[in-house]
Structure 1
Amino acid sequence: MSEHTALVVGGTSGIGLATARRLRERGATVHVAGRGAERLAGLAATDPEIVGHRADGGDRDAITAVVEKIGTIDWLVVALSGGEGAGPLADLDLGALRRAFDAKFWGQLTTVQAALPNLAPTGSITLVSAITARTGMPGTAGLAAVNGAVEALVRPLAAELAPIRVNGVSPGIVDTPWWSGLPDDARRDYFANAAGVLPTRRIATADDVAEVVVLAAVNPNMTGTVIEADGGARLVTLA
């Protein structure tokens, strides 16, 4: 029987899925929650040792049902995201930005609140934000607001919920399905240009970031910290 149990909400693709796989490699019993039946079916085929649950992170009742089914959770990772909220402020669709807050900020906060009664006293909560909260990139004010709100939860919750640990991870440009809204050629060109500017000279993979998420989740001496795993994006100007 596994010593630890993990729940990754938003764990059927991208950083969340890579994190779930890494936690499973550590020997944890890993559960993931996601909205899409197709992705959950794919996960069951590729990763049968990971337990999938269909639930929206913003649905308090659905997440409560999942955590009650699991029982005690040692490591909660909330990797919810959304594809809206980008663009120049003058043209920004505020309805889209509200939906972005619902999907990411309110989804993460709802998930944490629903899971809290089932978290082990020695457990952890790890939130995933994005480096837009820490840069001044034009056209990202909406994204910066969403991710800044997520990061603002970390320090007060680390103090309030102690000894449960609370951390965040702030990724930069990562090759995940988040970019699927761009045509393939446009995405390749953007990645190539960004890689030429980033100090690491490369675009991160989901697994690169997942390694950092796992560190934040499992390290017993880390709390109240947001780790920048951005390839140095905060140090340069990206178009």
Structure 2
Amino acid sequence: MSQHTALVVGGTSGIGLATARRLRDLGATVHIAGRGKERLDAVAVTNPELIGHQADGGDLVQITQVLEAIGRIDWLVVSLSGSEGPGPIAGLDLTMLRRAFDAKFWGHVTTVQAALPHLAPSGSITLLSAITARTGMPGTAGIAAVNGAVEALVKPLAVELAPIRVNGVSPGIVDTPWWSGLPDEARQAYFDQAAQVLPTRRIATADDVAEVVVMVATNANMTGTVIEADGGARLVSMA
């Protein structure tokens, strides 16, 4: 039985929740943090073994209170995201883009900073970016900048915080609630079209990516690395 403790910030749905479940399957004590009470309540019903905390990862006071309640952490996973950011640069709403940076980039930085006093020396930090940071898809300059900023944290922090390990995972198109803003038919049509282009010929599940997140979080020999778990999206044109 593992004696490890994990915290997944943004762990109430999608990749974050799938990661929390996988870490629990390894025997870890797993805490999840999320902003929405409804999602936390839903997880408490479906996965009562996960310990929920209502907190915004971008709020230093809230996330610090969660960390102080938990104590020592071995594995920190930051899976914060937001639906804002995409759009052609000519008409991109810059106020919206700032909100996107607040939600994801500043949320990652705030959570990491708050967690440092609580991380075990042999522990790890795993950040979630996205493949937009590594491709040339039209209409993604804003969100690519957000994800690129998250990825830019990995290498310097891996050296600065050593022996704590710092890694990132870069997902591609994943069937998660991130796409819930699209009508069902439109979302499925896009998935079908994308699957024909992707080298894997399929759309990833949250659990596909969570498997990679858990690997980098728990492997004692990995640090300063961003793993692409994108189905080959970076290799083809997704425009």
TM-score with structure 2 length normalisation? 0.99
2:178 is the alignment partner of 1:202? no
Q: CA deviation at 1:91?
A: 1.0
Q: Which stretches in structure 2 are left out of the alignment for 5+ residues?
A: none
Which residue does 1:46 correspond to in 2?
Answer: 46
Which residue does 1:85 correspond to in 2?
Answer: 85
Which residue does 1:170 correspond to in 2?
Answer: 170
Q: Which amino acid aligns with 2:19?
A: T
Which residue does 2:220 correspond to in 1?
Answer: 220
SS of 2:104's partner is: helix
Deviations 1:2-55 (A, max 9, x none): 510000000000000000000000000000000000000001100011000000
Give, in whole Å, the separation in 2 of the partners of 1:174 and 1:95: 26
SS of 1:170's partner is: strand
Deviations 1:78-116 (A, max 9, x none): 000001010000011111100000000000000000011
SS of 2:8's partner is: strand
Structure 1 stretches of 4+ with a deviation exceeding 3 A read none
Q: CA RMSD in A?
A: 0.7
For residues 1-239 of structure 1, the aligned pairs below 5 Å read: 2-239=2-239
SS of 1:7's partner is: strand
Q: CA deviation at 1:155?
A: 0.0
Deviations 1:94-153 (A, max 9, x none): 111000000000000000000110000000000000000000000000011000000000
Q: Which stretches in structure 1 are left out of the alignment for 5+ residues?
A: none
Q: Which amino acid aligns with 2:194?
A: A
Give, in whole Å, the separation in 2 of the partners of 1:177 and 1:96: 20
8 A Cα contact 2:2 2:26, kept in partner: no
TM-score with structure 1 length normalisation? 0.99
Give the share of equivalent positions with the same residue, in percent.
80
